[in-house]
Amino acid sequence: MNMKRYTQYMYSYPHKTAYGPLEGITLNQYLSDLAGAGHDLYLHLPFCETKCGYCNLFSVTGQGETAIDRYLDTVERQLRQYEPLFASANSLFTSLTIGGGTPLLLTEAQLERCFAMIRRYTRLARDAEIIIETAPNQTAKPKLALLKDAGVTRVSMGIQSFFDEELKVLKRSHRAKKARESLDLLMNSGFSRVNADFIYGVPGQSVSSFLSSVKEAVSFGPDELFLYPLYVKHGAALEQELNRGLVLDEDLAFRQYEAAAEWLASHGYRQDSMRRFVRPESPGGSREFSDCGFGSTLSLGCGGRSYLGNLHYCTPYAVTRESCLEQLVQYEETRDFCAVTHGILLSEEEQKRRFVIRHLLILPGLPLTAYRETFHGDAAADFPILHKWMEQGFLKEQRDCLALTEKGMGLSDYLGPMLISKEVRDKMNQWEALHGTKHNPIQREFKEL
Ligand code: SF4
């Protein structure tokens, strides 16, 4: 089989690098997508202590309290402009996610301000799920108490490894001892759900050291574990080390994944996707993606994405420090937050792809009746490759869904990118041609299995 198993993580579609300039669009035209209940709110806080070696997220280091205050002033101005729209659409948000960056890098007063602003200018459902990301170095008792008081239901901690040598390779700022203390603190802080992230495929990491991190994590009892293969994309600090000869071993990464998936299954964990493993006693919980592919998400701040019907938008994709800082300046200088200037309008064909991609890669899988009702057609007829994947044993039909088999699940980062349309791939490749490097796999031609 000639293939690249770790091509790309398809957590959304289309990728931000396929976005481009938009003209003449305002949020007022998309009010119906924000009408009533059921929408998600996202606040991006793009500040970190140090930049992790693999990070290609919109985040910057070295921003002091004043710079963060200025950013929050801008978020408040954005919220004030959105408030009348929310009122006329009678919008009710059923979830709030605060991500970054490292949200807990903010002072307690700044964190309190975030929650107060959101509650003042938006309507959050009484039982809204409120999710926040944290990192071991920023996890301390007073901030966790503040989150609990603010109604946070779920905390996600990026640990990545319980071995200092691996953390150093990843350029994470925390050490294993701190990760243990912080996870223990978090587990004893009374949140409804806690999840922890780990990375495999790290140079110098063995199957047994990865398995040992996973087993240790399980001993703390988090509700979910997310296991990510290491990717080094354009602009990430580790890219330079790849240029100097550092090697990512895909076969070893896959053996680490297999060993962890097998061990977790034998300990009752339910695997929902290539990355998500749910503790046996944990309540059903939400899907990795909170919508059915069409729910609205409105982002606040700079760097987060909004999804309103066929309109997807955000600030232009930025990875390097210079380009992130440039975006931050532009964000603070924005006068009209209702004008949408950068994004993509999805055709019906692209909406079908999005529906398939977002459902297929996580159990229970692609709902066939829902697809038929939404698009008045048959998923496998629209995407003949799905037939082929069934023949190859990557997919199976179960309970009105097309679901990944165990073999297919391990191939998620190969199968997902195969569903990218030619138009979107061309746009992504144009972006890569301008900004990318030889290490970015999306530049390669996809080989059919
Ligand atoms: S991976 Fe997370 S913690 Fe690390 S630099 Fe990126 S946003 Fe910050």
**Of all protein residues, whose CA lies closest to atom 5 belonging to ligand 1?**
51
pLDDT in tens, 203-256: 999 999 999 999 999 999 999 999 999 999 888 999 989 888 888 999 999 999
CA of 400 relative to ligand 1 center, distance in Å: 38
CA of 175 relative to ligand 1 center, distance in Å: 15
Alpha carbon distance 144, 228 (integer Å): 25
CA of 12 relative to ligand 1 center, distance in Å: 19
pLDDT in tens, 160-212: 999 999 999 999 999 999 999 999 999 999 999 999 999 999 999 999 999 99
CA of 134 relative to ligand 1 center, distance in Å: 10
* Whole-number CA gyration radius for the chain: 21
CA of 66 relative to ligand 1 center, distance in Å: 21
The alpha carbon of 120 is separated from its chain's Cα centroid by a whole number of angstroms, namely: 27
CA of 87 relative to ligand 1 center, distance in Å: 35
Beta carbons of 157 and 138 less than 8 angstroms apart: no
Residue with tokens 């957590």: 11
Asked if the structure places residue 68 within a domain, the reply is yes
Structure tokens at 184: 């223990």
> How much is the pLDDT for 441?
41
Structure tokens at 146: 């503040």
Asked if the structure places residue 320 within a domain, the reply is no
Calculate the dihedral angle through the C-alpha atoms of 257, 260, 265, 267, rounding to the nearest 10 degrees: -170
Choosing from 47, 48, 238 the residue with most ligand 1 atoms within 8 A of its CB, the one to mutate for a pocket test is 48
32: CATH: 3.20.20.70
Asked if the structure places residue 421 within a domain, the reply is no
pLDDT at 41 over 60: yes
Choosing from 102, 133, 178 the residue with most ligand 1 atoms within 8 A of its CB, the one to mutate for a pocket test is 102
Around ligand 1, the residues with Cβ closer than 6 Å are 48, 51-52, 55, 57, 59, 100-102, 135, 158
| Ligand 1 atom with the shortest distance to the CA of 46 | 7
Neighbouring CB atoms inside 10 A of 329's CB total: 9
Asked if the structure places residue 50 within a domain, the reply is yes
Greater confidence (405 vs 437) lies with: 405
DSSP lists the bridge partners of residue 278 as 224, 270
> How much is the pLDDT for 2?
52
Asked if the structure places residue 160 within a domain, the reply is yes
- Tell me the residue type at 176: A
Question: What letters, b where the CB count within 10 A reaches 16 and e where it falls short, cover 130-160?
Answer: bbbbbbbbbbeeebbebbeebebbbbbbbbb
Choosing from 47, 49, 55 the residue with most ligand 1 atoms within 8 A of its CB, the one to mutate for a pocket test is 55
**How many distinct structural domains can be found in the chain?**
1
**Of all protein residues, whose CA lies closest to atom 6 belonging to ligand 1?**
55
**Of all protein residues, whose CA lies closest to atom 2 belonging to ligand 1?**
101
Asked if the structure places residue 257 within a domain, the reply is yes
Domain with 31, as residue range(s), is 16-278
Asked if the structure places residue 396 within a domain, the reply is no
Question: What percentage of the chain has pLDDT greater than the value 70?
Answer: 93
